[in-house]
Copies of this chain bind each other. A is one copy, B any other.
Amino acid sequence: MSKFKLAMIVALCAAVVVPAFTRTPQAPASSSAASAPDPKLPDSKLPDPKLPDPKLPDAKLVEDLVYANRILSDQVVVDAFGHVSERDDKDPNRFLLARSVAPALVTKADILEFDRNGEPIDARGRAVYLERFIHAAIYRARPDVKAIVHSHSPAVIPFGVTGTILRPIYHMSAFLGAGAPVFEIRNGAGMTNMMITDNKLGDALAKSLGDGTVVLMRGHGSVAVGDSILQVVHRAIYTEVNARLQAEAARLGSINFLTPEEAAKADAQTDSMASISRPWELWKSRIGKID
């Protein structure tokens, strides 16, 4: 019997005795990244099974999100910081995101659901990421976006602070198109702590992203978006690779980038599900089984 089938049966049985998971929006949880995460909390499975509610996000979605967290850490896109989210397949006004914990340590039990304003539906006492508004704002602004990665991936940082545009140096990062825009938090908000800690700052960031695939954040990091968890992981990783290659090339001479037309044609191939499935399987094989 497949692991998924087994999990489904366990979930259905558990539903009889487990208290209902109420999906009614609640007041914002009082917990925040300012309170230390408590690893001793019981591992209540999310989605918490509740038979009458057909809107629970797919179990495969949760599993892929856990893999995405681990893969982004293994591929050095995130360290202890950075996060990846996924739009709820049943309710487009909600998204899934881990509690405040290093991506390498995320398990299924750490995945929480958030509403369109970035507040947890039920934080279950867990601390949540301070910058969850990055995700909320972009999901509001971009209905086509199904998954988002925010990171401080190292090779990208220099492009955010020097005015050098990050552009596609080869076919694998053709999704960068004519180049990634840079979000300057000073423009709207003056002197800040550099972080996206509310919806207003989130909206400003989403505006900088526009209809693009990647936006850099000056003195902070970057955000990649995609139409699936596979695509956004692929984009976050090759954004970092492109930055590494472009910085190297810039020292050798003037760079002959993909033209916008080449980028569009290459993107249709390298960014397709067929193409991104190959690295996804490789990256997953390096992670092994997850909880």
Partner of A221, one of B170, B262, B269, B274: B170
User: Can you give 28 A-B contacts (C-beta < 8 A)?
Assistant: A35-B274, A37-B278, A37-B281, A79-B279, A80-B278, A80-B281, A81-B279, A101-B278, A102-B282, A104-B282, A105-B281, A154-B244, A157-B169, A157-B248, A158-B248, A160-B170, A161-B249, A161-B255, A162-B252, A162-B253, A162-B255, A163-B254, A164-B253, A170-B221, A171-B194, A171-B219, A191-B265, A219-B256
A187: CB under 8 A from chain B?
Answer: no
- Do B191 and A170 have beta carbons less than 8 Å apart? no
4 shortest interchain CB distances as A-B pairs: A80-B279, A158-B249, A162-B253, A102-B282
Chain A residues bordering chain B, tally (CB within 8 A): 75
A251: CB under 8 A from chain B?
Answer: yes
Residue of B nearest to A280 (CB): B80
Instruction: Report A238 CB to chain B, min CB distance, Å.
Output: 10
- Bound form: Cα–Cα A168–B161 in Å: 11
- Do A171 and B191 have beta carbons less than 8 Å apart? no
A24: CB under 8 A from chain B?
Answer: no
A34: CB under 8 A from chain B?
Answer: yes
A139: CB under 8 A from chain B?
Answer: no
Instruction: Report A262 CB to chain B, min CB distance, Å.
Output: 5
Partner of A262, one of B100, B170, B174, B192: B192
A259: CB under 8 A from chain B?
Answer: yes
Residue of A34, A155, A257, A262 ringed by the most chain B CB atoms within 10 A? A262
